[in-house]
Amino acid sequence: MKAIFASRNRHKLEQVALLLPQFTLVPLDDVDPDLELQEPYSTFEENALSKARTVVHATKWPAIADDSGLEVDVLGGRPGVLSARFAGEGSTDRENNALLVQELEGIPEELLTCRYRCVAAFVTPNLNEVTAEGACEGRIVLEPRGTMGFGYDPHVIPESETRTMAEIPLEEKLAFSHRGRAFRSLSEKLGAVR
């Protein structure tokens, strides 16, 4: 089945393509490079559905989207849905990570608990909608480690690991990551729906 991937993040596309092999995922830029995807909501689910609905409306094709982010407990769950723009609209991973480290400096290591959260959404042209959620608990390290991954990965050590997400190869990471869990759950739900 063909579906438009409602994101311009090539890292996410690479991961989701591995997690949903039953789909041929078409990059949004290949279909509508000018389409703007808004994330105005306060929950990952609302944002994921908003992006998928926007793409379905514009293209008349099924769409797959996700919204995900990092929740740091001592920051009251921030950056949360603002993870990609924590340091402001258009901010880079480097800028977001620098702000995260700045806000956490001086906080005891045992309080640096966090989780990655992801909601995956599938929307059809007749507006059937399926969502699934995944989370991955972990802790923050202030010194970045690793070059694999993107976003906050160099600063997040997942539960039961000594490596950061940026030190873990993609295929291994997808077995337990928030995105891996969300899209495997979505795949199971879609199998049950058919």
Q: List the beta strands (DSSP E) in the chain.
A: 2-5, 24-27, 63-72, 113-123, 129-140, 156-158
User: Beta partners for 79?
Assistant: 71
The whole domain housing 45 covers: 2-193
Verify whether residue 67 is a known catalytic residue.
Answer: yes
Could you identify the residue written with the tokens 């105005």?
A: 40
Number of DSSP helices (H) and strands (E) in the chain, helices first: 6, 6
pTM of the model: 0.93
CATH of the domain at 55: 3.90.950.10
178: which 2 tokens?
A: 């928030």
List the Cα angle 108/110/113 in 5-degree steps.
110
**Per-residue pLDDT, 121:** 98
Contact 164, 112 (CB under 8 A): no
Number of domains in the chain: 1
| Per annotation, catalytic residue among 32, 34, 67, 153 | 67
**Per-residue pLDDT, 193:** 56
Please choose, from the candidates 64, 63, 103, 109, the residue with its C-alpha nearest in 3D space to the C-alpha of residue 82: 103
- Per-residue pLDDT tens listing for the chain (194 residues): 899 999 998 889 999 999 999 999 999 999 999 999 989 999 999 999 999 999 999 999 999 999 999 999 999 999 999 999 999 999 999 999 999 999 999 999 999 999 999 999 999 999 899 999 999 999 999 999 999 989 999 999 999 999 999 999 999 999 999 999 999 999 999 986 54
